[in-house]
Amino acid sequence: MLYWFDLIGVGVFAVSGALAAMQAGLDLFGLLVLASVTAIGGGTLRDLLLNRHPLFWMKDSGYMAVIVACALLTAAIGQLSPSAMQALRIADALGLALFALIGVEVAENAGLRRVPALLMGTMTASGGGVVRDVLSGQVPLLLRRDIYATAAIAGIVLYQLLRAAGLPRNAAFVVGLVCAAGLRLAAIAYDWQLPSPRLVQ
């Protein structure tokens, strides 16, 4: 069941990559590249840093199939209605939360301590978005504004606290997931921002 959620997360991130490619004026090949790096870039970076081989998308053709299908469909439609954009934002929040929690569990299974595992979870959730923005010539949005990766961090920390308090893994996973997704959706609804420290002149 987690596998199917994972594929949905990959599909949502692929759509977001394809939309960014159309905005940046890339061609069809660029669109497929941007959809792929957005969808599997974070997990790939995590697996490289953890030395987990072969990479998940090399073992299982489902990932690439979902990415190509979602990217081409997005290109064919060429626009998203306001209600589709709304649904995409909610799906993206769920994908973010899911990738964060999957990432921290993968890191735990690889024997990492808490802080590096937190980093790995955050990177799984947000690394693809960073590469997407670098490739389309932008300073990554999620480094500049919005409670995005921070929502992932909050969900992971809650998960780690609950685990340390003795909660079973599945329960902690679900609570962390709801926390991360909820915080992300609340940040969109109320336009919450992190402070941007400035240089005092």
Name the site residues for a second copy (rule: CB under 8 A).
18-19, 21-31, 33-34, 44, 48-51, 53-55, 57-58, 61, 64, 75-76, 78-79, 112-113, 115-116, 119, 130, 134-140, 142-146, 148-150, 153, 193-201
CA distance 44 to 81: 31
Say if CB 155 and CB 101 are below 8 A apart: yes
Nearer to a second copy (CB atom), residue 33 or residue 167? 33
Closest distance to a second copy from the beta carbon of 46 (Å): 12
Closest distance to a second copy from the beta carbon of 143 (Å): 3
Say if CB 62 and CB 6 are below 8 A apart: no
Say if CB 99 and CB 43 are below 8 A apart: yes
Closest distance to a second copy from the beta carbon of 104 (Å): 14
- Angle at the Cα of 120 from the Cα atoms of 119 and 124, rounded to 5 degrees: 120
Say if CB 125 and CB 176 are below 8 A apart: no
Closest distance to a second copy from the beta carbon of 168 (Å): 26
Nearer to a second copy (CB atom), residue 1 or residue 115? 115
